[in-house]
Amino acid sequence: MSKLIINGKNKLYGKVDVKSAKNAILPLIASCVLLDFEVGFLNCNEIGDVSVMLDIIKSLGGKYRYEGDTLFVDCSSVYIPELPCELSKKIRASVFLLGPLLARFRKVSAVTPGGCNFGERPIGMHLDGLKMLGAEVSGSEHLYLRAEKLTGAKIELPFPSVGVTENLIMASCLAEGETVIINSAKEPEIACLCSFLNRLGAKIYGAGTSRITVHGVKKLTNKISYFKPITDRIEVGTYMLATLNTGGEVEISGANFLHNTSLIKKIYNNTCKISLESDKIYLKCCGVGNGLGFIKTAPYPSFPTDLQSPLLAYACSLNGKTVIEEGVFKNRFAIANELKKMNANIYIDGNRAVINGTNRLHGAVLNASDLRSGAGLIISALGAEGVSEISGLEVIERGYFEIDKKLKQLGADITKG
Ligand code: EPU
């Protein structure tokens, strides 16, 4: 298992560039199963989860290639509606293929997906939604879905799940009649998927709201050569918090600040200067900030669960108290025990973390058990006194491209071990 070795207390200075969002590219790749031509996605990095998704596409009979940072995906030759077990177990996003494969082949077999390790991640809502479009589902660990045809339906989600909204949009694109998804997720990655599908000829209305309507079409026939996905708001947030935790001054290009308003509102005026341009965030830290008060993670546009661990890490070195309530996943505080090894003062009470900031974090031997807690550990290690060793780098590389190189360029003392 590879690791990162970080000698803390170097301020971050300079420029860093952020490319297409992991959580945008993954459903976009899945949606290519609906197409019988090749599409190029601009501005892409070969991050871990995307590589696994592409291996799954290959095992279904599809093709992909990179030309520079353009990823071309061609699913015209996909012929096996059967998700490969081992690969599917590696990423949660394999579940995004159920909808498009069902729409194309009227049947699909799969295993329950894997993904980052932070507790139970059920897929019942995906299956319930697909059933409402006409699928019959059998099996539990090994799933078999069949539908003579998919027919539009009115589907109310019990929770605005990102993946379920995406899966149902993809399946209903080619269903007969109208589908209405009520309480749909409003994340920018959903609007990105809808804008891609609409350019191909889908008829999706209401993306970015909690009511999405899809008028099924027979085929997506508008051939487009290229599409530019949105950039990674979570990666942007991670670099913002890393800058603040080291007391540095960084310009993040490729950042759409509108996608990070919940974070910007929290840190604005907290001993830092921020200036925002259409595709840039400039951040200058002007001293140790105060505790952040109460923050609850919730679906977009609220504070994102994916920035909860990075924020928790930052809160540990502020002056005063921060309380973070996790409102999306039941068990996403794995970072807390690791941060305690660095002298962090954190108390976990159910789905709440109470952090009493202290400016005296020291390096420690740490383990990244999931992607975002890994990002949080890096943030803490960068600001701590002394050397930290973070194992589980491959988990971090599932979603962050060359994070060690980018941080080194910003002046961090960081090496891969
Ligand atoms: N849920 C169910 N049943 C389901 C599906 C979801 O109970 O069938 C629950 C989940 O357990 C969770 C809540 O609904 O409590 C929300 O989960 P959601 O379905 O929205 O998550 P997801 O689609 O599996 C995506 C991102 C996650 C991100 C969440 C929430 C991708 C590939 N993953 O997951 O990203 O945390 O939305 O915003 O888009 C990450 O990037 O680190 C990451 C985990």
Tell me how far apart the alpha carbons of residues 72 and 44 are, in angstroms, rounded to a whole number: 10
pLDDT value at residue 51: 98
Which pLDDT tens digit goes with each residue over 85-94?
999 999 999 9
Catalytically annotated residues: 116
Q: How far is the CA of 162 from the centre of ligand 1 (A)?
A: 6
**DSSP secondary structure letters along 227-294:** E-PPB-HHHHHHHHHHHHHHT-EEEEET--GGGGHHHHHHHTTSSEEEEEETTEEEEEE-S--B--EE
Hey, what are 17's tokens?
């560039």
pLDDT value at residue 359: 73
pLDDT value at residue 117: 66
Question: Which ligand 1 atom lies nearest to the CA of residue 370?
Answer: 42
Q: How far is the CA of 303 from the centre of ligand 1 (A)?
A: 14
C-beta 23 within 6 A of ligand 1: yes
Record: fold of 3-18+231-416: UDP-n-acetylglucosamine1-carboxyvinyl-transferase; Chain (3.65.10)
C-beta 125 within 6 A of ligand 1: yes
Q: How far is the CA of 115 from the centre of ligand 1 (A)?
A: 10
Tell me whether domains 3-18+231-416 and 22-227 share a fold: yes
C-beta 92 within 6 A of ligand 1: yes
Crossing angle of helices 233-246 and 22-31, in 10° steps, is 170
C-beta 93 within 6 A of ligand 1: yes
Q: Is the pLDDT assigned to residue 118 strictly greater than 70? A: no
pTM summary value: 0.97
Q: Average the pLDDT over 98-126 and give the result.
A: 87
Delimit the domains of the chain by residue range: 3-18+231-416, 22-227
State what percent of residues in the chain have pLDDT above 90. 92
C-beta 368 within 6 A of ligand 1: no
Which pLDDT tens digit goes with each residue over 173-184?
999 999 999 999
Q: Average the pLDDT over 342-355 and give the result.
A: 96
Which residues have a Cβ under 8 Å from the Cβ of 154 and sit 6 or more positions away?
Answer: 179, 180, 182
Tell me how far apart the alpha carbons of residues 379 and 194 are, in angstroms, rounded to a whole number: 33
Does domain 22-227 correspond to CATH entry 3.65.10.10? yes
Ligand 1: residue of 143, 157, 236, 328 to mutate (most ligand atoms within 8 A of CB) is 328
